Structure 1
Amino acid sequence: MLFEQNNQHILDKKHQEWEFLHHFHHLGYDLLDLSILEEFRWDSLSPDDLKSMTNRYTWQANDSLLSIRSDWTDAIVRYRKKYKLKTDKIAYSGPVYSYNKERMQFGMETFSEDIDTQQKSMKDLLDYLQTHLKQTVSVAVISHYSLLKKLLNKDELQDPEVRHLLRERNLDGLTKYLGDTHPVVQLMSQPVPDQLHFARDQFPDLKGPVNEIINWRNALEEKNIPTVYSDLFSLPAQSYYKGIFLQFYTDQTVEPIVTGGQYSSPTKAFGMAINLTDLTY
């Protein structure tokens, strides 16, 4: 009986993966399947590569550094650069290994800077999450990765202590470190519901990113997500993330079930992935 249950569980997972790829293929997405093994050359490692190595399973083979895939977007960025990928949008499925754990991801990438096109792809993924995986998003968090670049100078942005305090949302620490007149401190001192409009009213350079956040917030509210709020102090995990970044949660998850956003490498694009869990896979 145990094997019968196990067999059915494996078949169900494989069918779910096939169903996702089949569904997005019929929506006009091209499908991409990449090797789980990535090869790096020591003489061409970027700052992003070096930073990410602490979260990867890596080993050395002759003159190469080998790694198990830890992020689909990162792998696709490399593939696009190497093979000059020609497609408007792709869908993918497969595992990633990072932070000492394995995750299965279903995702899509749209290679367009048109916001309507990006939001259409986002809605495609959210519709699949709700219709096929029977998961309802209860909370959406919107960030914009150009905000802090406009509020912090280059040295502050790279300062490990500043980055640590920002990740902790430590207002007292930032006040002591940067001073109470610093724009970041002034913005973080406002009540969370007021921060977005304070940023637009008090800092003219932030008007563009704030308006983009409002645009995406409106698109999410059209999807009837109960709670949508902005996080103005997020730092990108990779330097190619340039604009809007989104995280979606259900009532049953403490970690985001869907993540992704706008990036630029080598051209403007948008991508999101469903992080499958025991609830969904």
Structure 2
Amino acid sequence: MLFEQNNHHILDKKHKEWEFLHHFTHLGYDLLDLSILEEFKWDRLSPDDLKTMTNRYTWQSNDSLLSLRSDWTDSIVRYRKKYKLQTSKVAYSGPVYPYNQEKMQFGVEIFSESISKQQDSMKELLDYIQTSLNQKLSVAVISHYSLLKKLLTKDDLEDPDIKHLLRERNLDGLIHQLGTEHPVVQLMSQPVPDQLHFAKAKFPDLKESVNEIIEWSAILEKKNIPTVYSDLFSLPAQSYYKGIFLQFYTDQLVEPIVTGGQYSSPTKAFGMAINLTDLTY
């Protein structure tokens, strides 16, 4: 009986994967299936590569560094550059191996500068989560990765102490490092619900980015997500993330069920991934 239950569980998981890929091919996405094994050359490792190697399973083979795939977007960015991928929309499914764990991801990427097309892709993925996976999204967090670049110097952005304080939202520490008159300190000193409008009114250079956050937030509210709020102090995990970044949560999970955003590859692009667990998969 134990094997019978296990058989049904495995078949159900495989069916969900097939269903996802089938669903998005009907929406005009091309499918991409990449090896979970990535090969890097020591003399070609970028700053992003070096930073993420601490979160990968890696081993050396002659003059190459081998790693299990830790992120689908990163792999697709590499593949697109290497083979000049000729498609505007990609769907994928498969495991990733961030440090000390394995995750199954379903995701989409769209290579277009059209914001409306990027937003349509987001809505298509959210619709799939809410209908086919029957998951109720309770919270959406929206960030914009150009904000801090306009408020901090390059040296400040690369300062590990300041980056740590930003991740911790440590206002006292940032006051000590930057001073009370620094724009980041002024902005973080405001109540969270007021920060977005304070940024728009106080810092004209942020107006465009703030308006983008407001536009995307309005779309999310129409998708019946109960709580949508902005986080103005997020730092990108990879340098190629350039604009809007999104995280979605359910009531059942502490970690976000969906993450993604705008990036450069080498032109503008947008991607989102569903992080599947036993509760959702």
With the length of structure 1 as denominator, give the TM-score of the two structures: 0.99
1:100 match: secondary structure:
coil
Residues 205-220 of structure 1: pairs in structure 2 closer than 5 A: 205-220=205-220
1:42 alignment partner in structure 2: 42
Partner letter of residue 34 of structure 1? L
- Deviation above 4 Å: which 4+ runs of structure 1? none
Residues 71-220 of structure 1: pairs in structure 2 closer than 5 A: 71-220=71-220
Partner letter of residue 91 of structure 1? A
- C-alpha offsets along residues 221-240 of structure 1, whole Å, 9 cap, x if unaligned? 11111100000000000000
CA distance in 1 between partners of 2:115 and 2:137 (Å): 21
Partner letter of residue 275 of structure 2? N
1:211 match: secondary structure:
helix
CA distance in 1 between partners of 2:221 and 2:5 (Å): 40
CA distance in 1 between partners of 2:18 and 2:94 (Å): 11
Partner letter of residue 237 of structure 2? A
CA distance in 2 between partners of 1:20 and 1:235 (Å): 31
Partner letter of residue 69 of structure 2? R
2:237 alignment partner in structure 1: 237
2:85 match: secondary structure:
coil
Whether 1:60 aligns to 2:60 is yes
Give 5+ residue unaligned stretches, structure 1.
none
- C-alpha offsets along residues 152-175 of structure 1, whole Å, 9 cap, x if unaligned? 001001000000000000001101
CA distance in 2 between partners of 1:3 and 1:277 (Å): 21
With the length of structure 2 as denominator, give the TM-score of the two structures: 0.99
Partner letter of residue 115 of structure 1? I
RMSD: 0.5
- C-alpha offsets along residues 147-200 of structure 1, whole Å, 9 cap, x if unaligned? 000000010010000000000000011011111111100000000010001001
- TM-superposed CA distance for 1:113, in Å, is 1.2
CA distance in 2 between partners of 1:99 and 1:180 (Å): 38
1:13 alignment partner in structure 2: 13
2:31 alignment partner in structure 1: 31
- C-alpha offsets along residues 77-104 of structure 1, whole Å, 9 cap, x if unaligned? 0000000001010100000001210000
2:221 alignment partner in structure 1: 221
Task: Figure out how many residues of one structure are paired with residues of the other and give that number.
Answer: 281
Give 5+ residue unaligned stretches, structure 2.
none
